[in-house]
Structure 1
Amino acid sequence: MRWWSVANFVSNAGTWMQLTVQNLLVLQITGSAAATGLSLSVQAAPGLLMGMAGGALVDRWPRKLTAAVSQALLGLVAFTTALLVAFDHLNLGVLMALAAVTGLIATVDGPACALLGNDLVRADDVPSAIGVGSLVHNAGRLAGAGLAGLTVAFLGTASAYAANGLSFLFVTAVIPFLRPVREPAPPVPAGKSVPPVPAGEPVTRSGDDGPMGVREGLAFFARRPRLVGLAVISGVSAVFGRNYGLTLAVLVTGPLAGGAAAFGTVSTVLAAGGIVGAVLGARLRRPSVRLVGTLAAVGGLLQVAAGLSPSLAVLLVLVLPMAVAESVSDTAGTTVLQTDPPPHLRGRVLGVWGSIRTVWSLAGPPALGLLMELAGARGALMLGGLTIAAVVVAGRVTHARRAPAPVLLKNPAPTPPPRSSSRTRPPRSPTPP
């Protein structure tokens, strides 16, 4: 698990380095901010169209091999882009095609690597492993964004893509040496019963709805109220909050009259809060959807307070707990998502989640931008935070109303006293268990 964490840190740093450089590269080629947003949408689109199929493939194929091959393919795409940039043969069309291929491979790579990390620890340690993964992600994001500027300044744009390719190869080289503590459950052949699942989970039959069982994962997700509730909470939070790179940037540079340096300070505090939240999230043993909702509501109320901030200093005080609540909530939600389904369906459930999350990532920024146009940065933060808290409270009230009431017995009959017997029986020797 330590080797896997190191490999993931290297890979995350390389990925964020490439994403940072990719935005700059699109701006250099086109000079259009809209084209930059389009490149991100093109890379995310395969997750919407093929996310469930990618998750189904993860359930069907050997996990270590799947993760190694997908990482190697992502490295190949990065090296190809580096060569095209170095020889000045990269245009917008080719860049969009490479972004789409990257997004397509990620539909398999994402769930494969996530579940492989869980296989490296005992079942009781999975929440901690997910917390460590969140910590590695935030640390890699900080390192990658910082290294991007240095790499481009001293070695050129192509070197950032080449470094990302090397990071993928490093992960590919580490995977064969990993020894899972818990081997993933093998796929169940068509026509046979699935292994026992925890009480309350619908029992389905693998292979009854197509060669990959995509509909099976979708049906399982739809029949699990806690997963549906998790999707609602996460979706509302993603649309009306958490897009702090947009809302706080407008707030800092607008009403608070700050500049790029001030927003950089806010971004650093957000990243630090994310790391603190990941450490706290790693200590969770049995997170629940209720905890995710509570933290989302707390984050929403803090967002309302941030919208009312009279100065940058007050905003910085509020930003740190906002980031901590968001990070712990994300870690708890990821743990529920990856441990709630039975092992043979986890790849498909993660695929369904990937498709849903893509909808949020595509719809969130335009919706939030429209809200800021109508209500301003302060109004968008306050209305968004109140919406998140209201949805969480409404969900709790609905869940309480649907919960079955306890059955109370009226005037239960008294238990008759034991009959006395004049006969005495010799004591029986205890029966072994």
Structure 2
Amino acid sequence: MPSSPSAPAARTTGGARTARRGPWRCLRYPSMRWWSAANLVSNAGTWMQLTVQSLLVLDVTGSAAMAGVSLAVQAGPGLLLGLLGGAAVDAWPRKLTATVSQALLGVIAFCTAALVAFDLLNVPLLLTLAAVTGVIATVDGPACALLGNDLVRTRDVPSAIALGSAVHSVGRLAGAALAGGAVALFGTATAFVANGLSFLCVAAVIPFLKLVDRSTDPDAQDQGAQGPRGTAAAEARQGLRYFFGRPRLVALAAITGLAAVFGRNYGLTLAVLVTGPLAAGAGAFGTVSTALAIGGMVGAVLAGLLQRPSVRLVAAMAGAGALLQIAAGVTPGLALLVLLVVPMAMVESVSDTAGATVLQTEPPPHLRGRVLGVWRSLSTGWGLAGPPLIGLLMELVGPRAALVIGGVVIAGAATAGLALRPLLLRRTSPARDPQPAAVPVPAATRPTAEAELVPTA
């Protein structure tokens, strides 16, 4: 029986609809394809350096404690200066900011390579390089995150973030694999040279990227005109007021912080569980780590299907992950643990993508850098506090009880948040996001889309 004349058209329409909703739909944009390829190179270079960096730090300092200090020095600017870095991203042209920050990070990598090659690296230089890297990263992180989102329409931002997560995972595997051979053949400095070149690769691509015109984006919010800029301190305070004046963002920070402290330190909690109560070895934990990586990749694909992520989805995913964590805490054997960690990593990946999308699309464009700056300070704080706290809890009650207690805390918070959500909506529904100072700005002096405009390179 011949097919009806409308059948090909129907199939074409269905294919187009699938493409618009597919997990990798952001790759329909040529600039996103170039950006993703450059970031794959950059992530591989970064992980080449990170693979050898810890050993290098130990070799230079001769002390595990000093190695920890160097990591803290690099993380410190994110904790203390995250908001100022975000304010800079809001004030400066996006593409220029990302290009300069990437180039500067490349220069630092080349300087480190030279110091290593000529055996000139010492503790003061090491700490100085770590501090400078941390300061630049407070600007580079939000700049690159928002630049990547500016390459696609609003509805495709979840796909772009999920793709970034997948690129990060692939780059990590490639970088770790390349590091061993490169260092064995050419020495430790090679990893830093490769990382420097990868940063320059991204910096070279950025000027040719084409930003999406938000005025033609049907899903973009109408944010109104931006008022005149104030001092750096005033700009920072405006970002703080905006973030902590939004119950949704505060709730997102609360549930993500609890999950980070009590539920996501799998490299520590699962390692102790596997080598302790489960009486397996380092090879067994390698299997668990592989399962986590697989789950993360699958989760990234699923996250790419999201259209309009929400804080409610983040809370639901956190609750689901907490229940899986409780089950992992009481699991009797390694085989069942391996099966459990795959969905644990999946829900974590979906939750991360949903949360990142809310952070990067909900605030007005001129405040997004500062919102990400606040988030960077908060996430650095719980990232530094989490491992010691969960480690102390495991010392007191053991790894199994620590996993169960952590899961109960997260699940309870997620459940309470979901239960209180209708009340919060009723209390905040009449309010609208306040606009900046209501001073009209002539059209000729308004910032361009590039100037208005948090997986980074």
Q: TM-score, length-normalised on structure 2?
A: 0.82
1:112-261 counterparts in 2 under 5 A? 112-182=143-213, 196-197=222-223, 207-208=229-230, 210=232, 213-261=235-283
Q: Distance in 2 between matches of 1:94 and 1:205?
A: 42
Q: 1:34 to 1:379 in 2, by over 3 A?
A: farther
Q: 1:21 aligns with which of 52, 57, 60?
A: 52
Question: For the Cα contact (< 8 Å) 1:15–1:164, is it kept in 2?
Answer: yes
Cα distance between partner residues in 2 of 1:129 and 1:25 = 34
Q: Is the 8 A contact 1:56 1:212 kept in 2?
A: no
**Counterpart in the other structure of 2:104:** 73
Q: Higher mean Cα deviation, 315-324 or 257-266?
A: 257-266
Match 2:395 to one of 355, 373, 376: 373
Partner of 1:275: 297
**AA matched with 2:185:** F
* Match among 332, 345, 352 for residue 374 of structure 2: 352
1:45 aligned partner, one-letter code: G
Alignment partner of 2:72 out of 27, 41, 56: 41
Distance 1:110 1:90, change over 3 A: same
Amino acid at match of 1:262: A
The alignment partner of 2:279 has SS state of coil
Shift of 1:65: 0.6
Question: Match of 1:88, SS?
Answer: coil
Deviations 1:10-37 (A, max 9, x none): 1112112222211111222334332232
What residue number does 2:6 align with? none
Correspondent of 2:343 among 321, 324, 339: 321
Alignment of 1:45-60 (within 5 A): 45-60=76-91
Match of 1:298 among 300, 320, 325: 320
How much does 1:254 deviate?
A: 1.5
Aligned to 1:9: 40
> For 1:67-108, what per-residue CA distance to the aligned partner results, in whole angstroms no more than 9, with x for missing partners?
000000000000100111111111222112111111110000
Indicate conservation of the 8 Å contact 1:53/1:212, yes or no: no
| Structure 1 position 102 matched with structure 2 position 102 | no
- Deviation of 1:153 after TM superposition, in Å, equals 2.6
Tell which has more relative contact order, 1 or 2 (C-alpha 8 A, sep 6+): 2
Higher mean alpha-carbon deviation, 41-50 vs 9-18, is at 9-18
The letter for the 2-side match of 1:265 is T
In structure 2, give the amino acid aligned to 1:166.
Answer: L
Which one of the candidate residues 93, 99, 114 is aligned to 1:83?
A: 114
Could you say if the C-alpha distance between residues 154 and 8 of structure 1 is closer, same or farther in structure 2, counting changes exceeding 3 Å?
same
Identity %: 67
Query: Structure 2: which amino acid aligns with 1:96?
Result: L
Query: For 1:237-271, what per-residue CA distance to the aligned partner results, in whole angstroms no more than 9, with x for missing partners?
Result: 11001111111111111122222221112111111
C-alpha contact 2:61 2:122 (8 A) present in aligned 1: no
Counterpart Cα distance in 2 of 1:284 and 1:96: 41
Equivalent residue for 1:189? Answer: none
Tell me the distance in 2 between the aligned counterparts of 1:385 and 1:145: 32
SS of the residue corresponding to residue 332 of structure 2 reads coil
User: For residues 424 and 212 of structure 2, what CA distance do their matches in structure 1 show?
Assistant: 39
Find 1:391's aligned residue among 413, 420, 436. Answer: 413
Instruction: Report the Cα distance in structure 1 between the residues aligned to 2:174 and 2:228, rounded to whole angstroms.
Output: 42
Counterpart residue identity of residue 18, structure 1: Q
Following the alignment from structure 1 to structure 2, what is the Cα–Cα distance between the partners of residues 254 and 15? 32
Structure 1 gaps, min length 5: 185-194, 406-433
Cα deviations across residues 102-121 of structure 1 (Å, max 9, x unaligned)? 11100000011011111111
Aligned alpha-carbon RMSD (Å): 1.9
Judge conservation of contact 1:204–1:216 (CA < 8 Å) in 2. Answer: no
Segments of 4+ moved more than 6 angstroms:
none
Amino acid at match of 2:352: D
Q: Tell me, in whole angstroms, the C-alpha distance in 1 between the residues paired with 2:176 and 2:334.
A: 23
For residues 288-327 of structure 1, what are the alpha-carbon distances to aligned partners after superposition, in whole Å with 9 as ceiling and x for unaligned? Answer: 1000000011111111111112221111100100000100
Is the Cα–Cα contact under 8 Å of residues 206 and 213 in structure 1 kept in the other structure? Answer: no
User: Matched residues in 1 for 2:165 and 2:213: separation?
Assistant: 21
Greater shift after overlay, 141-150 or 217-226?
141-150
Q: Aligned with 1:341: secondary structure? A: coil
Q: SS state of the match for residue 404, structure 1?
A: helix
Q: Decide which structure has greater helix share.
A: 2
Instruction: Name stretches of at least 5 consecutive residues in structure 2 with no aligned partner.
Output: 1-31, 216-220, 428-457
SS at match of 1:213: helix
Deviations along 1:374-432, whole A, 9 cap, x unmatched?
11111111111111111111222233344439xxxxxxxxxxxxxxxxxxxxxxxxxxx
> Could you say if the C-alpha distance between residues 51 and 136 of structure 1 is closer, same or farther in structure 2, counting changes exceeding 3 Å?
same
- CA contact 2:223–2:365 (8 Å) conserved in 1: no
The aligned counterpart of 2:218 is none
Deviation digits for residues 142-163 of structure 1 (CA, Å, limit 9, x no counterpart): 2223333333233221111111
Spell out, residue by residue over 1:204-246, the C-alpha distance to the aligned partner (whole angstroms, 9 max, x if none).
9553565661111111101111111100011001100111111
Asked whether the 8 Å contact 2:240–2:374 carries over to 1, the reply is yes
The change in CA–CA distance for 1:119 and 1:196 in structure 2 (over 3 A counts) is closer
Go from structure 1 to structure 2 and tell me whether the alpha carbon gap of 1:331 and 1:352 turns closer, same or farther (over 3 Å shift): same
Task: Say if 1:121 and 1:182, in contact at 8 Å, map to a contact too.
Answer: no
Deviation per CA, 1:179-205: give whole Å up to 9, x if none: 111379xxxxxxxxxx9539xxxx995
